[in-house]
């Protein structure tokens, strides 16, 4: 995944919990060569040990359940995970932490006050729908920082897979409404005993579905991020579809005193929103790199046609049938590098904030935000809104008076 350098291995497992011994794998490899394929080798072993096909139980349920009915003990084996480990076999990841500028934090604090007045405090929210509404007050302050290159599509149906029949997710964030980069699953109570593991299974199914959605538009597997929350407990998750591995970041808990002190809760939510923004930024970078890879691979096979997608407005070569590199490859790589530079500046701001250098941290965060805006504008969205400040000024000077008809 994109932040692999930050990944940490989980605690070592006992020898009996690991993969089969290397000698056994080598013997099976030799048998596969001798029989012509791994499948033929397995059938040969089954015949030798008198194992009937019908006696082998699939790790998947006979009848596919929807996302919300997923069970961890049935889903985990599909990813070569042991349900009894209770997610201790998930690996650890940590994306670069970010600090947002005070101008954005101010808006988040205002959004927090609005959320409390609109939906009430988390301790008094009666159902998941209220929690979704509560969270929905903050997200509009974060996602627009990407100036329309990322879209939030609430309750958009997601297709089924071999794991699940599919379903809807509270929030799905797409790039250009095509590539899914981020999900949010909201529950009434996340830490509710055994149900917690099934909530994890639900997110696992959703992430696998998202990965397959991206594959259908010929985008290579990259880390897709998710949040599981009840607005009190915040779990930050990731899935690398290429490796079929799941990852967990350090959770954030707003239980205890923050639930009693509304202002303290709102201030802590700024930390949550910063983490979400960091995931979105990493997802944006991952997508740019995926398009760079796709462009490079098309150039390798001589695909330099003039066909363009209105949702991916990047120039391509006018030469056809050539294995020369497509100009769009350089464009994607340049955009990805620019986005990573923004990420570095946001992380510098975070480090300054950790050192209590608040003024320098805010200045660095403002610089990072300006760099991000410049970077995303290089992806011409053609919606006429990139220079909204100029549009507002023009309206104030030359616009018609509002008339109630």
Residue 16: DSSP 8-state: G
d(CA 351, CA 357): 9
Selected residue with higher pLDDT from 309 and 227: 227
Residue 302: DSSP 8-state: T
d(CA 299, CA 310): 20
Per residue in 263-280, pLDDT (tens digit) is: 999 999 999 999 999 999
Mean per-residue pLDDT for 162-180? 89
Q: Which tokens sit at 67?
A: 């996302």
Per residue in 291-315, pLDDT (tens digit) is: 888 887 776 555 555 344 434 444 3
pLDDT of 364 > 80? The answer is: yes
99 in Cβ contact with 353 (< 8 Å): yes
Q: Is 142 exposed, middle or buried (0-12, 13-18, 19+ CB in 10 A)?
A: buried
Q: Which tokens sit at 265?
A: 């809760």
Calculate the average pLDDT of the chain: 82
Q: Which tokens sit at 38?
A: 């791994």
d(CA 164, CA 150): 26
Structure pTM?
0.76
Q: In sequence order, what DSSP letters do the residues of 194-258 get, joined into one string?
A: THHHHHHHHHHHHHHHHHHHHHHTT-----EEEEEESSSEEEEEEEETTTTEEEEPPPEE--SHH
pLDDT of 404 > 70? The answer is: no
H helices present in 64-194, as ranges: 72-75, 102-119, 128-135
Which conformational region is residue 302 in: left (phi greater than 0), alpha (psi within -120 to 50 degrees), or beta? left
Q: Which has the minimum average pLDDT: 64-78, 149-163, 288-302, 380-394?
A: 380-394
Q: If we measure between CA atoms, which residue out of 252, 154, 239, 253 comes closest to residue 205?
A: 239
Q: Which has the minimum average pLDDT: 160-164, 223-227, 323-327, 396-400?
A: 323-327
CA separation (Å) from 231 to 76, 131, 137?
Answer: 25, 7, 12
CA separation (Å) from 155 to 69, 129, 158, 307?
Answer: 17, 11, 9, 32
d(CA 343, CA 182): 17
Burial 80-117 (b: 16+ CB within 10 A, else e): ebebeeebebbbebebbbbbbbbebbebbbebbeebbe
Q: If we measure between CA atoms, which residue out of 247, 312, 221, 313 comes closest to residue 79?
A: 247
The 3-state DSSP class for residue 295 equals helix
Which domains does the chain possess? 91-283 (3.90.1570), 287-305+314-383 (no CATH)
Looking at residue 28, what is its pLDDT? 83
């Amino acid at each position: 995944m994109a932040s692999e350098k930050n990944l940490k291995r989980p605690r070592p497992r006992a020898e009996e919990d690991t993969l089969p011994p290397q000698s056994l794998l080598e013997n099976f490899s030799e048998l596969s060569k001798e029989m012509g394929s791994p499948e033929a080798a397995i059938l040969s072993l089954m015949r030798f040990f008198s194992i009937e096909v019908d006696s082998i139980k699939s790790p998947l349920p006979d009848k596919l359940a929807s996302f919300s009915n997923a069970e961890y003990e049935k889903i985990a084996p599909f990813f070569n995970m042991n349900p009894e480990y209770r997610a201790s076999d998930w690996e650890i990841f940590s994306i670069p932490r970010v600090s947002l500028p005070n101008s954005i934090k101010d808006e988040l604090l205002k959004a927090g006050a609005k959320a409390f007045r609109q939906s009430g405090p988390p301790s008094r929210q009666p159902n998941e729908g209220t929690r979704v509404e509560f969270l929905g007050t903050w997200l509009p302050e974060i996602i627009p920082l990407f100036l329309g290159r990322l879209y939030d599509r609430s309750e958009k149906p997601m297709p089924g897979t071999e794991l699940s029949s599919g379903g809807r997710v509270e929030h799905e964030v797409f790039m250009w409404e095509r590539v899914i980069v981020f999900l949010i699953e909201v529950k009434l109570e996340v830490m509710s005993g055994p149900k917690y593991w099934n909530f994890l299974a639900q997110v696992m199914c959703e992430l696998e579905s998202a990965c397959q959605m991206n594959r259908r538009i010929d985008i290579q597997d990259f880390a897709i991020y998710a949040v599981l929350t009840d607005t009190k407990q915040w779990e930050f998750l990731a899935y690398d579809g290429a490796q079929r591995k799941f990852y967990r970041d350090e959770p954030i808990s707003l239980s205890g005193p923050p639930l009693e002190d509304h202002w303290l809760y709102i201030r802590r939510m700024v930390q949550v929103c910063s983490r979400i923004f960091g995931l979105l930024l990493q997802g944006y970078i991952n997508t740019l790199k995926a398009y760079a890879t796709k462009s490079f691979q098309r150039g390798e096979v001589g695909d330099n046609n003039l066909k363009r997608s209105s949702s991916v407005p990047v120039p391509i070569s006018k030469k056809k049938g050539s294995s020369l590199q497509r100009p769009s490859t350089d464009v994607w790589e340049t955009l990805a590098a620019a986005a990573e530079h923004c990420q570095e500046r946001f992380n510098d701001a975070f480090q300054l904030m950790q050192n209590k250098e608040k003024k320098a941290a805010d200045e660095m965060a403002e610089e990072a935000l300006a760099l991000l805006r410049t970077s995303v504008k290089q992806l011409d969205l053609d919606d006429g809104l990139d220079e909204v400040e100029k549009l507002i000024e023009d309206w104030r000077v030359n616009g018609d008076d509002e008339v109630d008809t």
